[in-house]
Amino acid sequence: MDLLQLLFFAGLAVFLGVRLYMTLGKPTGRSPEEHAREERERQAAREAAAPARPVSLGRQTGPAETAAMAPEPAYDGPAAEGLAAIRRIDPAFDPDEFLKGAKGAYEMIVTAFAKADLDTLRMLLSDRVYAKYAEAIAARQEKGETLITEIERLKEAAIKEASLNHNRAKLKIAFTAELASETRDSDGKPVSGDLTTLKTVSEIWSFERDVDDPNPNWRLSGVKPA
């Protein structure tokens, strides 16, 4: 509710209170003093109910503009300069929130690749990486093989590098996970891997997004051993 509405309803409340008091709370017959007092109260109510003059409080800002006006966070570590550059062009960017999303993306992508879920991969991968994943899935299916991957624990997720090249923001995340993986043939017999054995996998995943694109989603653009 804005200032004008508050003033209007406050004035209306005063005016109605005076009218009710005059109608229900007063005995018949009024002294000149009472008449003068009631007239003053009616005048005060009219003035309170009258439209107030506009008051300029400055241009109203939305969430993104408010973030832009807020002091820029201080970053440290090797990715600090890149994080600050991304933040300046995208005030809604938050490294902590990004990491939460990256952890979820890691599990979704690993699981989707094992299940041959191309729809999920299409949403999360760049065109180049998607083509490679789709090719690997097709080769697996041609052999009649299935892949089962179980993530036991995501031990680490840390931003190692950050950069902004024109409108292209890029973040490199170091992931360390404990997982088990097994490939089975068409008869369900293991041909590689072992679900009963956990292994530690350390990789660097690169995520990119076009900061000029209203779509805020980042996509996986590369994977390499850590």
pLDDT tens per residue, range 13-39:
444 344 434 433 444 444 556 656 666
Assess contact for 190 and 179: CB atoms under 8 A. no
Percent above pLDDT 70 for the chain: 68
Q: What is the pLDDT of residue 216?
A: 87
Buried b vs exposed e over 89-110: b needs ≥16 C-beta within 10 Å? ebbebebeebeeebbebbeebb
Of 197, 163, 168, 164, which is closest to residue 180 (Cα–Cα)?
A: 197
Which DSSP state fits 72?
P
Residue found by looking up tokens 């994080």 in the block: 83
Mean pLDDT along residues 78-104: 94
Q: Measure Cα distances from 225 to 1, 61, 176, 192, 202 in Å.
A: 56, 44, 10, 20, 6
Q: Mean pLDDT score of the chain, rounded to an integer? A: 79
Residue 4 — φ and ψ, nearest 5°? Answer: -65, -40
Q: Which of the four pLDDT bands, split at 50, 70 and 90, describes residue 78?
A: confident
Q: Which of the four pLDDT bands, split at 50, 70 and 90, describes residue 126?
A: very high
Residue with the bigger pLDDT between 215 and 169: it is 169
Task: Point out the least confidently predicted range of 16-20, 115-119, 142-146, 159-163.
Answer: 16-20
Q: How far apart are CA 202 and CA 224, in angstroms?
A: 9
Beta strands in the chain (DSSP E): 146-165, 168-184, 190-193, 199-210, 219-225
Mean pLDDT along residues 58-74: 47
Residue 224 — φ and ψ, nearest 5°? Answer: -150, 155
Mean pLDDT along residues 213-223: 93
Which DSSP state fits 143?
T
Token pair, residue 91, equals: 């005030």
Q: What is the pLDDT of residue 72?
A: 65
Judged against a pLDDT cut of 90, whether residue 47 lies above it is answered with no
Judged against a pLDDT cut of 60, whether residue 73 lies above it is answered with yes
200 pairs with which residues across the strands?
A: 178
Q: Helix, strand, or coil here: 51?
A: coil
Give the side-chain half-sphere CA count within 13 A for 114.
Answer: 18
- Residue 160 CB-density burial (10 A; 0-12 exposed, 13-18 middle, 19+ buried): middle
Helix axes 95-115, 127-142, angle to 10 degrees: 20
pTM listed for this prediction = 0.68
Judged against a pLDDT cut of 90, whether residue 135 lies above it is answered with yes
Judged against a pLDDT cut of 80, whether residue 103 lies above it is answered with yes
- Residue 64 CB-density burial (10 A; 0-12 exposed, 13-18 middle, 19+ buried): exposed
Residue with the bigger pLDDT between 10 and 72: it is 72
Which tens digits make up the pLDDT trace of 172-208? 999 999 999 999 999 999 999 999 999 999 999 999 9
Mean pLDDT along residues 125-154: 97
Q: What is the pLDDT of residue 116?
A: 98
